[in-house]
Amino acid sequence: MTLDIARLRGSITALITPFRGGRVDLKAFEAFVERQIAEGTHGVVPCGTTGESPTLSDDEFAAVVGCAVKASRGRVPVIAGTGSNSTSHAIELTQLAQKLGADAALVVTPYYNKPTQEGLYLHYRAIAEATRLPILIYNIPGRSVVDMTVDTMARLAKISNIVGVKDATANLARASQQRAACGTNFVQISGEDATALGFNAHGGVGCISVTSNIAPLLCSDFQNACLKGDYAGARELHERLMPLHDVLFCETSPVPVKYAASLLGLCEEDCRLPLAPLTETSKARVRAAMTKAGLLN
């Protein structure tokens, strides 16, 4: 592992994947990554859920991850979303991300299969043994149906290159429980913008954020305040961001955040089926929240 694990912290953006005419818009994506870094984002995640990874071909995955690596130029860590409900496919994607120059891998718990805790352990162990990349477990029961227990995570934390977790359980007790079970060096990153303030107070060190796609400076300022222990300042920023956190999940993510990005002229609002276009009612809500946050006039 060449990545300094201490760099896995702060405001890490779960990047959208811009489309134009049904194809990945790499020009818009490269400019999008550059804007993120310029506004203080601490890391980027290409090909995660927010990047519509289930609809990307392996060739598109390679193009997006490669573009993120090229655009970042080592300034921030690139954490590629390489998860799959097929262990062999997850290994292939993780090895491809390593070859492309990604700094780490974000591996979601296998969806649909509903593996046991032992199945989860064996899945992650097999991936870890097949790569030198640091791995973040992505625990998101709301999308994958399965919830990794603290005990299973503690077993996996003993594997040298399984270095942390993106926790999207929205259960703030987990941060304290996992800290006790996995050790204080185990990197805990929130996967929930709305609860990131409390998560950090419980021992987390950042958030893999949807909102930072459209408000990277505010989100990086918020995380910097948390990292400094300035929770009064962090709370002020959190309260400014909270309407955005809410509205960007008014319909299935990433539909609202892609529409928000289109209002800023960053990309088209297009998502791939089975995600439907944002309704007019929700569009009005997104515009209102962005205006209130000072992102639109």
Task: Please name the residue that has the structure tokens 């780490």.
Answer: 104
Q: Which of 27, 111, 121, 138 is catalytic?
A: 138
What is the reported pLDDT for 297? Answer: 86
Q: Domain limits of the chain?
A: 8-230
What is the reported pLDDT for 68? Answer: 98
Whether 191 and 167 have beta carbons less than 8 Å apart is answered as yes
Q: Which of 121, 124, 166, 258 is catalytic?
A: 166
Average pLDDT score over residue span 188-211 = 97
Average pLDDT score over residue span 80-89 = 97
For residue 39, pLDDT over 60 is answered with yes
Instruction: Give per-residue pLDDT as tens, 154-165.
Output: 999 999 999 999
Q: Say whether 112 is catalytic.
A: no
Instruction: Give per-residue pLDDT as tens, 115-155.
Output: 999 999 999 999 999 999 999 999 999 999 999 999 999 99
Domain 8-230 has CATH 3.20.20.70: yes
Long-range Cβ contact pairs of 66-72 (< 8 A, separation 24 or more): 66/100, 66/101, 67/26, 67/29, 67/30, 67/33, 68/15, 68/29, 68/33, 68/44, 68/102, 69/100, 69/101, 69/102, 70/30, 71/29, 71/30, 71/33, 71/34, 72/33, 72/37, 72/44
What is the reported pLDDT for 45? Answer: 98
For residue 265, pLDDT over 70 is answered with yes
What pLDDT band is residue 85 in, cutting at 50, 70 and 90? very high
Query: How far is C-alpha 279 from the chain's CA centre?
Result: 25
What is the reported pLDDT for 111? Answer: 94
User: Between 216-227 and 231-247, two packed helices, what is the crossing angle to 10 degrees?
Assistant: 140
For residue 59, pLDDT over 90 is answered with yes
End-to-end Cα separation, the chain, in angstroms: 45
Task: Please name the residue that has the structure tokens 């050790």.
Answer: 183
Give just the sign of the alpha carbon dihedral 120, 123, 129, 132: negative
* Beta pairing partners, 108: 138
What pLDDT band is residue 3 in, cutting at 50, 70 and 90? confident
For residue 1, pLDDT over 70 is answered with no
